Every structure is written in C-alpha cells, then in structure tokens.
Amino acid sequence: MRDTAAIWEWLAYVKIRAVGGEMKFAREVEHAVREIIHTRAAGIDPAELANETRRVRTLLEKEKVRVRRSKDIDIKYGPGGVLDIYFAMRYVQLRDNIPDRPGDRSTDFMLDVLRENGSLSATHHQIFIDGYRFLSTLDHYLRLTVGRTTRLPTANQKALNLVSQRMGLGSAAELVEQLTLHRLNIRNSFDDIVNPTL
C-alpha cells in the first residue's frame, strides 16, 4: 500500500477505523495507514487530487443514477447528497494533511476541525453542517417510514406527508423545497472546494 495505493483508495482510507480483533494492533495499523495516505497525498499536486476526487464522486453518482427507475431523489448518491459532503471533506483532509482524530470521528466534529484549520470557509462549513443535519434527519425518518433506502419516494404522497410531519415541516412540498435548497447549496460548495483548477 505504501507505494501502490491509488488516489481513490486514499479517499476511502481517510476514514479507516479499527473495530475489532486485537485492538492494540488494529490501532497501530490504523495509524500507519493514515500516516501513509497523508504522506502520499502531500506529495502530489492538489489539482490531481481534486481531479481524482471529482472523478470518483461522479462515477458513484452516475452508477446509482443509471440503475434508478423513478423520479425519486437519492439523498446519498445524487447531486448535493451526503457523498458530496464526504468527498469534499476527504479531499480537504488529504490536501491539507488533517487526519481524523481518534477521539471523535463524527462528520460534525471533522467539519468543525476543517473550519478551525482554515481549510473550509465559514460559508462552506455552515452549508455542510446544515445540509448534513437535514439529510441525516431525513434519512432517519425515511427509514422509519419506508425502510432502508437512500431515495425519497417523490411519487408516494403518503410517505412524503408522514416524513414531513415527523421532521416538523408543514407539508410534503416544504420538505421537497428544503431538500432541493440543501442539495443545491451542497453541490455548489462541493464544486467550489473540489476545484481541479487550483
């Protein structure tokens, strides 16, 4: 891995975490892998890292859209979904050499760390925090309403009404409107941050 891992693998390993087995050894491996990917990332042009980040994100988006059979909105893989936030964060973490912290690896915490480091502007930070919280809440109530899915079933008015009620929103239309606004803001921030012309 030290010499052969591709950039897309670095993006995946940013979040490496020891979860089982001999924990002392697992944490040592976790630390070593994190050190390798951040060292390798420091040695490449940020534009190359941005290009590959964008390529992998776009590939995942297209793959999921290709198999979609309805007008449902994919809140994870679709444009402005959770993966835009994750990929922007991972890109910035690699670009600026900001590894995950062992004590707290939550998205909210890492977004705060990136803002405090000056790696995310206050505007992008707020867009990602607000968007992530909205999408996470929506994901939770979607699962309670229709089961495990990443897609908001736009043709299922009963489900939309129930999800919007559970989220404390006035209507299904308000849910879709807020979701659209968050997705547009998230995608614009992703595009601004993961800019291959840097």
Distance in angstroms (rounded) separating the CA atoms of residues 150 and 143: 9
CA distances, 87 to each of 60, 76, 79, 84, 190 (Å): 11, 12, 12, 5, 8
The alpha carbon of 163 is separated from its chain's Cα centroid by a whole number of angstroms, namely 22
Q: What's the token pair of residue 99?
A: 């590894």
CA distances, 71 to each of 78, 151, 153, 154 (Å): 12, 9, 8, 7
Distance in angstroms (rounded) separating the CA atoms of residues 36 and 5: 10
pLDDT tens for 36-58 read: 777 787 788 899 989 999 998 99
pLDDT at 63 over 90: no
pLDDT tens for 173-188 read: 999 999 999 999 999 9
- Report whether 72 contacts 151 (CB < 8 A): yes
Q: What's the token pair of residue 95?
A: 């670009």
8-state DSSP, 104: B
In this prediction the pTM is 0.88
Pick 123 or 49 by higher pLDDT.
Answer: 123
Q: How much of the chain exceeds pLDDT 70, in percent? A: 90
Q: How many CB atoms lie within 10 A of CB 22?
A: 10
- All domains of the chain in start order, with CATH: 45-193 (1.20.120.330)
